[in-house]
Structure 1
Amino acid sequence: MSDLEKKPFVLGLTGSIGMGKSATAAMFSARGVPVHDSDAAVHTLYGPGGAAAQAIGRAFPGTLTPEGGVDRPALREAVLGDAEKLRRLEAIVHPLVGAEARTFLARHADAPLVVLDIPLLFETGGQARCDAVLVVTAPPEVQRARVLARPGMTEAAFDAIRAKQMPDAEKRARADHVIDTSRGFAAAEAEVEALVAGLSAAGSAPAQ
């Protein structure tokens, strides 16, 4: 790429469970910013005919549905508490999600700003693909109340999910931008608006 060519500013968006990341991603989408949702990519990869499904079925027998998609509860049971099995699963899924993200970036090469929505961004090294990282946060008591209000969620499940995620304080320390969603929808909207304006300008500048 020559110095005169432009490329998108790539913003990594992350945050622990219950912090409001999905709502924040929707704010970027509403402003016309292309957003790659890694959770949605995994959902497709896990579906019947998905690129990950057959590989997972071979690695973890009994974890596919009759239709050929991944049986998520069965897979969760198969890897729960087993670090080696979890690493095997990640070795299948993470490269495929990374390939999806690269395709997304190529498809939106002319956009001034794009967002990579990655729940485990720091945990998987995804920040290496980003020009900056936005962490969405909220106080612990707000996070807990939001998560436990979800249907079927238990204290044990919440604690297990948090155990896999980098502590919120460490994420905030490593972030370039932070939005605290506990301050209300309007405040978050205003912060997203400012980021879109500023980072889009950066992405519109010639690449150095």
Structure 2
Amino acid sequence: MSAPSPFILGLTGSIGMGKSTVAAMFRELGVPVFDADAAVHALQGPDGALLPAIEAAFPGTTGPQGVDRPKLGNAVFGNREALARLEAIVHPAVAEMRADFMRENADRPLVVFDIPLLYEKTGDRGLDAVAVVSAPAGVQRDRVLARPGMTVDKFAQILALQVPDEEKRARADYVIDTGTTMPATREAVHALVERLTARDSSSSGP
């Protein structure tokens, strides 16, 4: 009889909801976390594995520090064909890193996939459950507008591109509230980890 595979929890949340903080809490509890954004940054950063392919497809968009994000953004913005070319370079590489992550953690009871745009882009395919990080709208607004360079208009534009928080919460299997105290949020994460790691190994759902 083969060993049970890890329970895969997708972690997502809109801008300013505290997803990165919650992901760190999972790590503190010893839960492996695959960060999709960090994987892309590594692949596109200094000496990143994808730099030659990106430079060949979009000349002048890379340099010693890796991908020049404004230049690459300008090269693909509003151009579906260009965006598809970029995604054809990036997505297989990220999938390979994710597969390596799963092989390295095949004996763990629980792993987390940190996916910022889960509902907007990737969907929940391959996940056993989804946890949405959420906070009241006023808390979210205060957090985001406190960021350097953020404006009310820019915040509104970002929100317009994201699935509304209310819908994310409705579609999620679990909701992690960060609108409360840090200890309360940490306790909620701990309780969720205990619940998912203590599940019957024959269970296939959340």
Which bracket does the TM-score occupy, shorter chain normalised?
0.7 to 0.9
Name the structure 2 match of 1:15: 13
The one-letter code sitting in structure 2 at the alignment partner of 1:145 is D
The one-letter code sitting in structure 2 at the alignment partner of 1:23 is T
Name the structure 2 match of 1:139: 136
Name the structure 2 match of 1:115: 112
Give me the TM-score of the superposition, normalised by structure 2: 0.88
How far apart, in 1, do the equivalents of 2:153 and 2:73 lie? 14
- Aligned match of 2:70 in 69, 73, 85? 73
Q: 1:176–1:79: structure 2 CA closer, same or farther, 3 Å change rule?
A: same
Name the structure 1 match of 2:176: 179
- Aligned match of 1:205 in 173, 198, 201? 201
Larger mean CA deviation between 14-23 and 119-128 belongs to 119-128
Structure 1 gap segments, 5+ residues each: none
- Aligned match of 1:191 in 180, 188, 192? 188
Displacement, 1:206? Answer: 5.0
Give me the TM-score of the superposition, normalised by structure 1: 0.87
Displacement, 1:207? Answer: 7.2
Name the structure 2 match of 1:5: 3
> What's the Cα RMSD here?
2.1
Name the structure 1 match of 2:166: 169
The higher relative CO (CA closer than 8 Å, separation ≥ 6) is in 1
Larger mean CA deviation between 24-33 and 74-83 belongs to 74-83
How far apart, in 1, do the equivalents of 2:162 and 2:85 lie? 18
Displacement, 1:82? Answer: 4.2
- Aligned match of 1:29 in 21, 27, 43? 27
Q: 1:155–1:99: structure 2 CA closer, same or farther, 3 Å change rule?
A: farther
Name the structure 2 match of 1:104: 101
Displacement, 1:161? Answer: 2.9
Q: 1:128–1:180: structure 2 CA closer, same or farther, 3 Å change rule?
A: same
Q: 1:143–1:169: structure 2 CA closer, same or farther, 3 Å change rule?
A: same
1:5-33 CA distances to partner (integer Å, 9 max, x unpaired)? 22111111011111100000011000111
How far apart, in 2, do the equivalents of 1:167 and 1:52 lie? 33
**Count of residues paired in the alignment:** 204
SS in 2 for 1:28: helix
How far apart, in 2, do the equivalents of 1:82 and 1:201 lie? 47
- Aligned match of 1:49 in 47, 67, 86? 47
Structure 2 gap segments, 5+ residues each: none
Alpha-carbon contact 1:35-1:114 (below 8 Å) kept: yes
SS in 2 for 1:106: helix
Name the % identity: 57
Alpha-carbon contact 1:9-1:112 (below 8 Å) kept: yes
Displacement, 1:143? Answer: 1.5
1:81-128 CA distances to partner (integer Å, 9 max, x unpaired)? 445544443333223222211110111001111111111122333521
How far apart, in 1, do the equivalents of 2:134 and 2:167 lie? 11
How far apart, in 2, do the equivalents of 1:152 and 1:36 lie? 28
Displacement, 1:39? Answer: 1.3
